[in-house]
Each structure stands twice: as structure tokens, then as C-alpha cells.
Structure 1
Amino acid sequence: MSSTARLNLPFIAASQAQKEVTHNEALARLDALAHLVILDRDLSAPPAASEGDSYLVATGGSGDWAGRDGQIASYTDGAWAFYPPVLGMLAYVADEGTLAVYTASGWKEYGALLSEVATVSRSPSGAESRIGTVEEELTGLSGASVDTSIVIPNRAIVFGVSTRTTTAITGATSYDCGISGETSKFGGSLGIAAGSTNAGVIGPQAFYSDTAVRLTANGGSFTGGAVKVVLHYFLPVVPQE
């Protein structure tokens, strides 16, 4: 046996001359594949690369990547080295901000570990189930009410909206968290002191248009303070083909 079973790391043979060549080749391969970071998995032609950059070759590999579809391309010593993925390999896909695991049926995403909006399952036709935990900090509160720039997406099923007062609110004696027309939907008379929190859970409710969350001042208008607002929802994505 001249190499390891999984990663194909070369062994040093008995009485081998120039053992450092074999040893360095094994280290280079291990450096590329351990704690794998894939910069992009949608490219079929090799990009300009820096030492240590790794990509997953997309279908239709061309140039130096010709015939390497589905392999990991790592730029080492000024040239591309190619490695086939192995079962159970875990990779961070940098441009997508997601984790992927190599399975018997190809790469599967495990973005729920990293993303604000994560795909937790996908059908062969591209339909998806996504879970969202999306936040925004509203600072310098001013006026009778303030709306978030983040929105509950159209067709989302909302479980709740949570809040934390991150900087003490001034001008108001409390505040409500809701939406236009239902200003205390996710909580009423909430605390203005820094550190005050509220888990504004509701019975799961579908929304049929993009909807901002509104903070409404009680006992006077906002003159200062900051509140972190977090949306908690499920979002279905229709089949793509």
C-alpha cells in the first residue's frame, strides 16, 4: 500500500531516497483538504488564484480544469492540484457563507449552522424549506414610531419577533412591538432600560406581503435609545423547474 485509504496521502517507502518529496506532498494535500475552505463552487474555468486557494470545479471544466468536474482544485506552488472529494468531507463555501458535506448523492448544504436564512431541506426540483432568524439594531430612536428596514418576507410563516433594548430609551415610558395596524402584535409596554428583552411569540401566522416591524413609543415620543429586533420565521420556496 503506497498511500492512505481516504485522502490518498503518500507513504514514505522503506529506504526511499529524497523522503522529503513524499513527505511534503502529503503535507500539501493535507493542508488543502483538512478544514476545507472552498472559495467558489460555480466556476468552470480557473480564476486568478493565490497560494492555497481552493475551488470546487463546476460542470464543464475548461483550461487547466478540463476533465476535473466535481474535483477540488487547490492552487499550490504556482499550479493547480486536484483532489476528488471523499464521503463525509466537510467544507465551508466562503462565497455562500454555508457549510456543505459530501454524501453518497453529492454535496449537501448544512447552512443552518451559519446563516441568518438557512435552507434546511431541498427537493430534487429546487423547492426549499428555509428557516430565518434575521436581526437589525434600530439606533437613535426618534419620533412616535420607527419601522425596521428588514421585513417579514412575502409568504413567510412567522413564529415571533424578539427584541432587546441595547441602549436605554429616552422620551418614552415603554414601547410596543408590532406592525402597521397591529402595533403590539409582538409585545406591548416593553421595557426601556438597557438589557430589557421580550420573546414576542405568536401562533404561527402567514404574511402575504413584505412587512416591516414597527416600534411604537408609549407615554411620549422616542428621543433616543436603541433596540435590537429579530424576526423568527419559516419560508417555503417553490419548485424551480
Structure 2
Amino acid sequence: MVETYQHGLPLLAAGQAQKHVTVNEALARIDAVAQLRVVSDAQAVPPAGALDGQAYVVPEGASGAWAGKAGLVALFANGGWVFLGPRAGWRAWNEAAGAAMVHDGAGWIEGALDAGAGGAATLHRVLEVDHALGQGTSVSVPGAIPSGALVIGVTGRVLAALGGAATSWRLGVPGSDDRYGSGLGKGAGSHASGLTGAPVAYYGDTDLVLSGEGGGLDGGVVRLAVHLLALRPPRAG
């Protein structure tokens, strides 16, 4: 069957019978790739209850109907799996990871802002964590900033009001406990938007530190988000 160059859409042949089958398959592929959204890129076994239109990036070592299809987009259409070969520059939203991916011609790269021909990429990531505070003058969120991160800033939102005698709180890291904000509100809905004058590089996993101002903290929940860049080196081959 003749297919289009970019998306592999099946074309009608002259005098073809059951034209609706070919047309419907083409429409299903267009629906999938026009704004590509995949359920996951880590599921190795084809789901038994897949819905028409759902798509997955097939990981290495996949089994069943996906065996030998690593890196392809598996689209469930008309009761079976159709496989699409992505090209360099394709973008997709990964529902499971909550992140965008870009294809560099050899594989999918999560969070890539740009990618070189050899696989090097600049990655943008937002890492979120909901942290329930205990009692104390300061509270640490272990390893919230990963090694190798170039942090643009840290933001936060109070999900459940903070207790304790503190009148406000500050947000930072060990040795600089107000790097990402001070005088922050304790009430539910209060937020932090912490920027530094220049991005800060972290060469090891680093805790975030929440400290009470004017007293201690006791209870409450804060959602924190680390906004960072990371570097991916070129592929070996």
C-alpha cells in the first residue's frame, strides 16, 4: 500500500474496494499524530484494555504484539495495533511522566528544548513534590534538587495552612536558607516564586529547607517545584 511521506498515511488506490477501511485508518493516524499524546513510554506489555486512539512509545524489551518494535509509536486502532515510525523533530506529550518529549532521529528525549544530531540535548524539567511539614524551626525536603541541575528558581504553594508560632517562612538550601524566598505566607493558597540573579548549579543532590520566621513550624503541606535545566551528553555511537 502506498503511504504518505511524513506520517505514513495510507492512500487510496484507483478502483479500490472498501475505501472506507483505508480512509478510517488514515483518519485514526492523523488523530494520533496531529497533537501526539502517548500514555507511557515505559510499559513493556501491550495493555489488554486499550481504547481506540490511545498511543504508546514502545520501550526496549517489549513483548507480545510490541516485540521488536522498540522506539515506534504503537497506536491502537480498529481493534489492533498500528506502528508509526517517528522522525527527527516529532514531539509528544508523555502522560505518565507529565513531560514533553522530542525525537532526535534515533530516540525520544524527555524534556529536550533542543537536541543535536549526535544526541546531545538541553533539558528543561520541573520537579514537583508535596511535602507535609513536621514540627521544628526548620524542615528539610531531602534531595529535592538533583545532582547536575542548573536551577532557574523554586516555586511553591501552601496546600494546607502551616501551623506553629512562626509568622512567616523562608525557603532555601543548606547554607542559604532564604535563597528562594523569605517572608512567605502561611495560609492555604499562599505561594513562593523564588528566582536567583543567575541560575545556580548543584553538583550533588541537595535538600530544600523550609524555615520558620519568628518561631517554629508545626504541620501543614507545601507543594514545591524545582525549575531546572540539565545537560545530556552525545550518544556513544
Answer whether TM exceeds 0.5 for this pair.
yes
- Counterpart in the other structure of 1:10: 12
Distance across 1 between alignment mates of 2:220 and 2:30: 47
Give the 3 Å change call, closer, same or farther, for CA 70–33 of structure 1 in structure 2. farther
- The number of equivalent residue pairs is 224
Report the RMSD for the aligned CA atoms in angstroms: 4.2
Gaps of at least 5 residues in structure 1 are 112-117
Say if 2:87 and 2:105, in contact at 8 Å, map to a contact too: no
Q: Which runs of 4+ in 1 moved over 3 A?
A: 2-6, 36-43, 46-59, 62-102, 105-111
- In structure 1, what is the Cα distance between the partners aligned to 2:58 and 2:223? 40
Identity of aligned residues (%): 29
Confirm or deny that 1:153 pairs with 2:146: yes
| Contact 1:162/1:199 (<8 A) preserved | yes
Q: TM-score, normalised by structure 1?
A: 0.68
Q: Which residue of 1 aligns with 2:230?
A: 235
Secondary structure of the structure 2 residue equivalent to 1:34: helix
Whether 1:185 and 2:182 are equivalent positions in the alignment is no
Per-residue deviation, 1:202: 0.8
3-state secondary structure, aligned to 2:148: coil
- Secondary structure in 2 aligned to 1:23? helix
Partner Cα distance (1:123, 1:188) in 2:
40
Greater Cα shift, 207-216 or 30-39? 30-39
| TM-score, length of structure 2 as denominator length | 0.69
Given residue 122 of structure 1, which amino acid in structure 2 is its aligned partner? A
In structure 2, the partner of 1:122 is 115
Q: Distance in 2 between matches of 1:155 and 1:101?
A: 21
Contact 2:71 2:108 in 1 (8 A): no
Provide the rounded CA distance (Å) in 1 between the counterparts of 2:77 and 2:106: 24
What is the distance in 2 between the residues matched to 1:233 and 1:66?
Answer: 36
User: 1:168 maps to which residue?
Assistant: 161
Are 2:227 and 1:197 aligned? no
Q: Which residue of 2 aligns with 1:142?
A: 135
CA distance in 2 between partners of 1:168 and 1:67 (Å): 51
Q: 1:12 to 1:74 in 2, by over 3 A?
A: farther
- Distance in 1 (CA, whole Å) between partners of 2:182 and 2:128 is 19
**After alignment, is 161-170 or 34-43 more displaced?**
34-43
Structure number, greater radius of gyration: 1
Q: Which amino acid aligns with 1:165?
A: V
Q: Which runs of 5+ in 2 are unaligned?
A: none
Aligned residue in 2 for 1:27:
24
- Contact 1:73/1:82, CA 8 A, preserved across alignment: yes
